[in-house]
Amino acid sequence: MLLAIDVSNTGIKLGLFDGREMQARWRVATVREKTADEYAMLLTSLCQSKGFRLADISDVIVSSVVPPLTPVIQHLARSYLGREALVVNHTSPLGVKLLTDNPWETGTDRILSVLAAKEMYSVPAIIIQFGTATSFDCASPEGDFLGGVIAPGLGISAEALARAASRLYQVEWTAPPTVMGKNTSHNMRSGIVYGHAAMVEGIVARLRREMPGGEQAIVIAHGGLADVVATATDIFDVRAPNLLLEGLQRAYERLRG
């Protein structure tokens, strides 16, 4: 089976695939100080919890936007799985052209999101990842990466608001029943969730006007906070919680045949 690993700033997603079928999925916190041995012990426990063994893993593919952890994952694959991890980057021949000023700046998560949209849904597309940042990736009608937008994530915005204002505090990230609040908690929740949803709607509208085929572009949402924002907007055509892991599986097919 294929182990797909997506390393982001706040979480590491792992998916175990038999062909294109995902057999198990996990998410653990990104801890830059952990060693390959520690991550290996964690992986062993996760596999055992679903009835698998490390010996069941025949290959490993990795996407990472946390450079210090990339060699850690490679060492884990080499030492505990007996495999050389296939690491995806901007030079990988995935059939997605990077039509940007500096292709080497493009995070592999953004490339994989476009590949997954192209292979699994349709293009043109606007793919929105809700994580530490809220990023918008624009896929052309040919399935190439046109560019996009990176905005502060919902969590960053909420934490900054509570930290910077002495009379405000942390609130849960859920949409209140109405936009107009009658108390401080309601006011803050409205601003955090509905404000983020309005930002998303506004940026999508502007991207549609700028990108080729924008009026026909579908909107795909993924990432840990997509469900929160989805309660405050109907702009998403698709919610794809496993988009990056599935993109890694499709990348593996292209790279290993």
CATH 3.30.420.40 range(s) for the chain read 2-87, 103-247
pLDDT of 10 higher than 90 = no
CB count within 10 Å of CB 180 equals 8
- Just give the CATH number of 2-87: 3.30.420.40
pLDDT at 166: 61
List, for residues 166-225, the tens digit of each pLDDT value. Answer: 666 677 778 888 999 889 888 888 988 999 999 999 999 999 999 999 999 999 999 989
Q: Are 173 and 162 in contact (CB under 8 A)?
A: no
| pLDDT, mean of residues 46-63 | 96
Residue predicted with more confidence, 158 or 76: 76
Collect all residues with Cβ–Cβ distance below 8 Å to 230 and sequence separation of at least 6: 221, 236, 239
pLDDT at 169: 66
- Just give the CATH number of 103-247: 3.30.420.40
pLDDT at 60: 98
List, for residues 98-129, the tens digit of each pLDDT value. Answer: 999 999 999 999 999 999 999 999 999 999 99
Specify which residues 21 forms β-bridges with. Answer: 18
- Take residue 107 and report the two structure tokens written for it: 């995070």
Q: Are 230 and 236 in contact (CB under 8 A)?
A: yes
* Confidence band for 165, pLDDT divided at 50, 70 and 90: confident
pLDDT of 162 higher than 80 = no
The answer to whether 109 is a known catalytic residue is yes
pLDDT at 64: 95
Q: Are 77 and 122 in contact (CB under 8 A)?
A: no
* Alpha-carbon distance values, 27 to 11, 177, 224 (Å): 6, 30, 10
Residue predicted with more confidence, 165 or 155: 155
| pLDDT, mean of residues 92-97 | 96
| pLDDT, mean of residues 154-163 | 82
Q: Report the predicted TM-score, pTM, of the whole model to 2 decimal places.
A: 0.91
Q: Parallel, antiparallel, or unpaired: how do β-strands 59-64 and 21-29 relate?
A: unpaired
Q: Which of 6, 56, 109, 144 is catalytic?
A: 109
